[in-house]
Chains A and B, each alone.
Chain A
C-alpha cells in the first residue's frame, strides 16, 4: 500500500494533470506539466518514489465496532512504515521537533499519524496519504466571524492560495475544512484530500463553492510551480461539520501535485489494496 502510494499517482490525479496540459497556452507551464508527467512514467517504470520528499504517512482508519482485532493495530501500522522506509525506500523525514534529531525510521513520538473513526459493523477501511512538507507548511487555520459567511471563506482560501504561490508545488489540491472546532476543521481539511478529483461533492452547495474557488484560483496566474499559467489548482475539496453558534472555523490544507494516496479494505479476512 505504501509502495504503491509513493511510486504511482491515483488515476484521477494523472487525468487532471493531463487535462490541464491541454488547456495551458503558456509554454513554461506546459513544460512543467510535461516534466511532471514524464517523471510519473519514470517513477512507475522504475518503482521509485515520485518525489524525494516521501513526506509523512497519515492513516485514516475506519474501524467497525464489531470487528475483533487480535493484534496490536497501531504497532502494525508503525511496523509497516518502518519496513517501507527501509525497503522502498522512503526518505527518513521524522525528527524531534526541538532537537531535530532524526529517528531514521519515519516512526517517532506520535508518528505515523493515525486518525481512527469508529463505524458500525465488522468492516475495516484504511486510507493513507503521503504529505510532503512543501505543501503541509502552507496549512492555515482561520477563526472567522460567525456571520462572515461564504464570501469571507472564499476570500480566506484565495488569499492563502495567492500567498502560498509556487511553494506548495502547484497545481495543488486544496482541502478546506469548515466548521467543527479548531482541530476538527484542520482534520476535515486534510480528510477532504482523500476524495478523488472526479467525485463530485454530494453536498450541492459545497460543490458549487468548490467550483467557484477552483476557477478563481486558476485565474491568479500562479501556474505550475509558480512560474505562471492557468493551472494553479487541480481541485478544491470542502468538508464541513456543525459548529458553535459563535464560531466559524476554517482550515486549509494543500496537497502538492504529487497527490499520493492509497486505500485498503477488509474483504473476508484479507486486507485488499484498492487501486485509487
Chain B
C-alpha cells in the first residue's frame, strides 16, 4: 500500500521532494481554483510586472470551474470536480514560474515538455478523479473569497478552505516520474 499523506499548504520544497508518482495524498488548507481566463489574466498582470491580489507562492492551484448554487447565505459550491489541465499547457510553465505555485490539481496531466518544466520549478501535479464533483464539494469547508468575479463563476478565482480533499494521486513528481507517460 502506498503512503497516505495529508498535505497542508504552504508546501515546502522539502515536502514536495518526498512525494513520488503513485503516492496517494489528501489535502487540507487553502486552495485556489483557476482555469483558462484566470490563467490568461494572471499572466498578463505578472508579465507586466504587476502583482496578483493573492499570493500563490508555495500554494496550490486547482483546475476547476465549480457548479454554484445561490443561497441566502451566499454562493454554495455543489459540484467541483477537476477540468482538463492540458488546455492550459501553453500558459502553464510561465504561470507556475511566476506565481511560485507548488502543486497543481487537475485531470489527465500536462504535455510532456510542460511536465519537465513543472519539475524544474519544483511543482507537482496531483490528479483528482474527473467527474467526482460531489465528493470534492463535500471537502470544501468554506469559500474564503471570490476574486475576478467579472470572469463569471466558472472562470473566476475561488479561494477555498478544504479538509481532506482527495484522494489525490501524485501523477507527476519533481523527479521525472509521470504516470501519464508509462507507455
Contacts and interface: CB of A to CB of B under 8 A. Distances in A.
Interface of A: 27-28, 31-32, 35-36, 38-39, 42-43, 46, 48-54, 89-93, 102, 132-134, 137, 165-167, 169, 220-221, 224-228, 256-258
A52 B56 CA distance: 24
25 contacts: A31-B169, A35-B132, A35-B135, A36-B132, A38-B135, A39-B131, A39-B133, A43-B79, A43-B134, A48-B78, A48-B133, A48-B134, A50-B134, A53-B81, A53-B131, A91-B67, A91-B154, A102-B154, A134-B130, A165-B108, A166-B108, A169-B108, A169-B130, A225-B127, A225-B129
B12 interface: no
Contacts, number: 132
Contacts of B108: 165-167, 169, 225-226
B160 to A, nearest CB: 13
A225 B130 contact: yes
B107 interface: yes
A256 B131 contact: yes
Interface stretch (B41-49, B141-149, B175-183): B175-183
A31 B132 CA distance: 12
Contacts of A92: 153-154
A91 to B, nearest CB: 4
A60 to B, nearest CB: 23
B171 to A, nearest CB: 6
Interface residues of B, number: 40
Nearest to B78: A48
Nearest to A42: B134
B134 A46 contact: yes
Contacts of A28: 22, 24, 169, 179
A217 to B, nearest CB: 14
Contacts of B64: 52
A137 to B, nearest CB: 8
Contacts of B130: 51, 134, 166, 169, 225, 256-257
Interface of B: 1-2, 22, 24, 64-69, 78-81, 83-84, 86, 107-109, 127, 129-135, 137-138, 152-154, 167, 169, 171, 179-180, 182-183
Contact of B131 (A48, A89, A165, A169): A169
Nearest to A166: B108
Nearest to A138: B84
B182 A51 contact: no
A39 B83 contact: no
Q: Which of B78, B86, B130 has the most CB of A within 10 A?
A: B130
A87 to B, nearest CB: 10
Contact of B109 (A49, A166, A169, A257): A166
A46 B2 CA distance: 31
